[in-house]
Structures are given as C-alpha cells and as structure tokens.
C-alpha cells in the first residue's frame, strides 16, 4: 500500500519524517536547555514523552535512574480508554494482538454447604456492550513501554531516554540575572557505570515529575502527600502452574471463609496468570519489608484460599509484596508565586500524585491519562498557541479524578477483603456477594476510563 501525506515517501509509513538534519536517534546530551524535561520512564513519563516527541519544534529530554528499560512485572491492566489513547499513538492493534482480552469476570465465595471450600457465585460480562470500540485487555507494562519507546524512536525528534540519571533537585529562577526563557534548573546525578557521581545541569521551560510514589520532583517543589494505610499485606506473583481451578483463564475474585481473598488475572500468551493474594494484617508502623515474605508464602496462602482446588506452581516469573494505602498529593503542580504571570513551571503525574491498591487495575491507566491531559496543554503553550493559564487546568482536572480513584479503591478494597459470610442462611451470603458484584458493575465505566467528567473551567 502507498501512503500519501505531503507527497509520497517510500519505506515504513510509521516512521515519521525526522527534524531536518537529524537522521540518527537524538542524543539529548546535546541539549543543556530543553523545552520539557521529563523525570521518569514509567507509563506516565513515556506517555508524555511519546506525545511531545511528535512535535518537531519541541525539544524534550526524558531521564530515569534505572540503567535500562523495564523487563518484567508491575502493572498489566489496560483499560478501554487507554486502548483509545494507544490508537492515537498508532499501536493499539499490536496491543490487541498480544494481549489477553478480559471479557468476563467470575466471583467465588465459600460454599454454604461446606464453608471450608469455595464455589462459583456468578460470572458477569466485564465491559458493557458499546462502551468502547476497544476491550479491556491485559498486557505486561514492559511491553507497553516497548511500544511507547518505538513510537518515540520513529517520531520527528527520534527521542530516546537517558537512563542512569538520578534526579537530585531543582530550582525555579523567575527573577534575577539568570532568569530567562528556561527558568527551571534541574540537577541530575549520573549513576551509570563509568560516570558515577558526575552531575549534569539542565535548564528547562518546564519539568514534569513522573518519578513514582517516592517522587524527588514532588519533594523539590514542597508538595505534601496526604492519606493513610489500611495495614493490609498482600502478595502478587506471576505464575506458571498446573491447577484444576476451572476459572484460571478468567479474571476471578475469590473470597474464602477464613483464609483471605485472591484475585486471579490471566496473562497474555495463554499460560501465565497473576495472583493477588491476601497475606494478613500489619501491625501499626510495620512495613511489608519487615515480614521477609517469600514466593512460597504467597503460593501457600493462595493454595489455602483455592481449597478444594489444587495449585502446583512450576515457576514464578515475577513477584512482589505490598501494603495497602490510599494517598493523594495536595496539588499536582508547583505553587506559583503571587504576581507571576507565567503559570506553573513544574508538574507531577502518575504515582507521584496518587497511590492505591493495584488490584483495581487503575494505576497505569490513570497515570497515562494524567500525562495525556498535560501533554497537549504543554505543547500548546510551548508552541505559542495558548497562554500559560491553560496549564492551571491540569491539576484541577486530574486531582478530582484521582480523588474519585482513591474513594473507589478504598471501598473496593474493603468489600474485597471482607470475610465472606458463612452462616447457614445462604440468603445472607448471597446478599453479601451481591453487594460486592453490584459495586463492581456500577463502577465499571469508571474503571474503563470512559466516565471522566471535569468541572467547568477555562476549557470546559
């Protein structure tokens, strides 16, 4: 097939025309001054980097303290709205081809006749008809990163991340002789072999912290995180196993009578599956790292929940433990001094703004949506198509969505971890299960990412 856009160009149609004079992947070492400096190569950072790399006029640098791309683990749920974003970047069909499609969800509870065992309570459609042209899918976060990195490499800027750079601190210089077009001064410490300890100084128009729950960018601008911990310990593992549990290839929420709960997530490829497994309570002040949990502990807990079904684990490809907590940053941007007319210069997105339980499958999706919201606004301001006032809508809009996410996650966690009723009155047990399923169904549009509503503002 021939592709015509401003004339015929042979070759790969996905490869955008490079900036004049740029034929190789761009080395951002060339730039000590950039329009946008992105700190962090997670889903939020790469979404923003891929978005900005499509604008030939915008210079972008993206850095991460890791020494290379993500390879295993972390998030895997891709909501319908995220699939729509992937369509904008041109790789939705590849995600559809590689991913597991979540079409149904099953619910399991204790058998009223034998409470020490579990029985299927119901199976429901995961996404309602005509909600989106795309399904809810499961794909490794590492593969999502791969697609973003490829889109960046094929962009007009041929953008590649700079790994091995740890963000140290920043200063916004709005006044004085050094203030100018690039008022944000960021200090980066090299941690890659052969360059350890070397400090790079980058001046930027804007800096965006996509550097996770312990964000150094957030700390640099003095933004506080508020919230609490539920003192619940959970384990998660990607497993290859032999099992007679009949719904192992369905997303399954399992509540036992006395052994906790498990969430089963089938993985792409047809063999692996992920299990989120409840591991008990934490004492006040205790951290997950204090327990010295092993993969065998997670497996044993899951086996207890699945009884009478068996789980013979052959391999664990990735695992982790975590504690439940819902926390939200007080703002998603720097505090602009009184009288300043240039708007905020530093922003945070993703886990730097909000943290919660991973079982809701929202972390990666909401993080990417944060950056998708901010990206076009940054591009519009940098290109002179909008005033800096536009940037002030980002924090207002996305903080309200993050609060909805925190509220949803807190309620979902409470319902999921509740001990299933095992009294002889099966009506009580069914009512309890119905409450959990009703909440899941009622909020399906929110988890699909298609129920976002912003308050009236400059642009709504």
327 as an active site residue: the answer is no
Dihedral, CA of residue 138, residue 103, residue 151 and residue 207, to nearest 10? -70
Query: CA 252, CA 159: separation in Å to the nearest integer?
Result: 40
Q: CB of 248 within 8 A of CB of 267?
A: no
What values do phi and psi take at 96, rounded to 5?
A: -60, -40
Catalytic residue among 100, 182, 206, 276: 276
CB under 8 Å to 272, separation ≥6 — which residues? 238, 239, 240, 266, 317
C-beta atoms surrounding 390 within 10 Å: 18
76 as an active site residue: the answer is yes
Strands lying side by side in the sheet with 77-78: 77-78, 137-138, 100-101
Query: CA 318, CA 74: separation in Å to the nearest integer?
Result: 9
218 as an active site residue: the answer is no
The angle formed by the CA atoms of residues 424, 426 and 432, to the nearest 5 degrees, is 120
20 as an active site residue: the answer is no
Query: Per the structure block, which two tokens stand in for 96?
Result: 């559809």
Catalytic residue among 43, 156, 358, 394: 358
Catalytic residue among 35, 76, 238, 351: 76
CB-count exposure of residue 231 (10 Å: 0-12, 13-18, 19+): middle
Query: Per the structure block, which two tokens stand in for 399?
Result: 């903080």
Q: Where are the beta strands (DSSP E) in 199-308?
A: 199-209, 225-243, 251-255, 261-266, 273-281
Q: How far does CA 87 lie from the centroid of its chain?
A: 18
Query: CA 252, CA 373: separation in Å to the nearest integer?
Result: 32
Query: Per the structure block, which two tokens stand in for 359?
Result: 């079982």
Catalytic residue among 203, 267, 274, 410: 267
Cis peptide before 122 (omega within 30 of 0): no
Q: Are strands 273-281 and 137-138 parallel, antiparallel or unpaired?
A: unpaired
Query: CA 295, CA 315: separation in Å to the nearest integer?
Result: 10
Q: CB of 152 within 8 A of CB of 48?
A: no
Catalytic residues: 76, 267, 276, 358
């Amino acid at each position: 097939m021939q592709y015509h856009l401003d004339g015929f160009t042979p070759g790969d149609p996905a490869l955008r025309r490079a900036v004049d004079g740029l034929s190789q992947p761009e080395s951002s070492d060339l730039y000590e001054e950039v329009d946008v400096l992105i700190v962090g190569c997670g889903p939020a950072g790469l979404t923003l980097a891929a978005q900005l790399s499509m604008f030939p006029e915008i210079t972008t640098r993206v850095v991460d303290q890791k020494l290379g791309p993500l390879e295993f683990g972390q998030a895997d749920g891709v909501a319908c709205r995220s699939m729509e974003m992937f369509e904008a970047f041109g790789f939705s069909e590849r995600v559809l081809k590689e991913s597991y499609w979540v079409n149904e969800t099953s619910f399991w509870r204790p058998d009223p006749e034998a409470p020490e065992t579990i029985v299927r309570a119901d199976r429901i459609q995961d996404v309602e008809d005509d909600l989106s042209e795309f399904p809810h899918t499961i794909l490794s976060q590492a593969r999502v990163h791969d697609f973003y990195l490829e889109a960046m490499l094929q962009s007009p800027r041929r953008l590649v991340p700079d790994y091995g750079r740890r963000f140290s601190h920043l200063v916004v210089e709005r006044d004085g002789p050094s203030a100018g077009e690039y008022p944000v001064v960021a200090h980066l410490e090299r941690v890659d072999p052969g360059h350890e300890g070397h400090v790079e100084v980058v001046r930027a128009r804007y800096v965006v912290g996509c550097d996770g729950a312990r964000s150094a960018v957030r700390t640099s601008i003095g933004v506080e995180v508020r919230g609490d911990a539920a003192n619940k310990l959970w384990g998660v593992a990607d497993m290859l196993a032999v099992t007679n549990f009949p719904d192992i290839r369905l997303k399954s929420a399992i509540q036992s009578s006395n052994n906790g709960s498990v969430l089963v997530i089938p993985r792409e490829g047809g063999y692996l599956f992920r299990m989120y497994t409840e591991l008990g309570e934490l004492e006040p002040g205790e951290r997950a790292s204090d327990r010295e949990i092993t993969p065998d502990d997670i497996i044993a807990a899951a086996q207890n929940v699945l009884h009478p079904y068996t789980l013979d684990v052959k391999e664990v490809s990735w695992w982790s433990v975590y504690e439940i907590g819902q926390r939200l940053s007080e703002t998603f941007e720097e505090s602009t001094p009184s009288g300043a007319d240039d708007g905020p210069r530093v922003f945070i997105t993703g886990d730097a703004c909000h943290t919660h339980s991973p079982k809701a499958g929202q972390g990666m999706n909401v993080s990417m949506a944060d950056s998708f919201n901010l990206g076009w606004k940054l591009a519009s301001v940098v290109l002179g198509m909008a005033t800096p006032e536009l940037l002030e809508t980002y924090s207002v809009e996305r903080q309200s969505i993050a609060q909805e996410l925190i509220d949803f996650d807190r309620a979902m966690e409470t319902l999921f971890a509740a001990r299933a009723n095992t009294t002889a009155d099966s009506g009580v047990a069914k009512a309890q299960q119905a409450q959990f399923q009703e909440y899941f169904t009622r909020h399906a549009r929110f988890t699909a990412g298609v129920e976002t509503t912003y308050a009236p503002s400059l642009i709504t």
